[in-house]
Amino acid sequence: MDIIEFFEQSAGKWFSQRTLHNLTSGKLQAGKSELKIEILPTSDPAVIKLCSEHSLNPASAPLAGVRITWNPLADKNQKNGSTVLVPIPNSENPKTGKLLQSTGPASKTSSGKLAASITTRYIIGEDDVLTLIGESEGFYAEERLWYLIPNLRIRTSVVTEPSGMTVASFCSEIRMGVTQPAAETASAETRS
């Protein structure tokens, strides 16, 4: 599996259940949310903007982009949000590369500069586990995503903030509203 196949497999609406553990304070927190993952064409304004911020032609991206939108359920402290991702595979090894990511409204880095987007490295292992690694000015994040079955995926992450606080998370995500894939349905009908 490569990054394009991974994101194409991710398209759809998901129910996510997450547990966060602040490794610095020991505090635990749980949450639920809905995720919507959609593939974007090269003509999408968000893809064009993100590519131009990185001096790239959107047409050169093998997969135009992915928009991830989240809506927390029953947690008033969490906010809705959205991000756009554009994968740029390494031409020599498409299982590695970089992932351009919008951060929404421009936010300040620890040096006081405005940051509207970030770049993350990715690696897809022989076991089809996607590992994302993002680093900048004292910030480090490593996230791993994989599928147990096509409609059930797992995410784990460890994030270290410039303040020294470290948070680990575990998410299970179930695709919502999906029926049996066509190939399975056809074989089930043949057996009847």
pLDDT confidence of residue 69: 94
pLDDT, one tens digit per residue, over 88-123 is 888 899 899 999 888 654 444 444 443 445 679 999
pLDDT confidence of residue 43: 84
Q: Where are the chain's structural domains?
A: 3-191
Residue appearing with tokens 């940051």: 115
* Percent with pLDDT over 70 in the chain: 79
pLDDT confidence of residue 11: 93
Q: What is the pTM of this model?
A: 0.81
Question: Which residues of the chain fall below pLDDT 50?
Answer: 105-116, 179-192
Short-list 90, 114, 92, CA closest to 103: 114
pLDDT confidence of residue 115: 46
CATH topology for the 3-191 domain: Lipocalin (2.40.128)
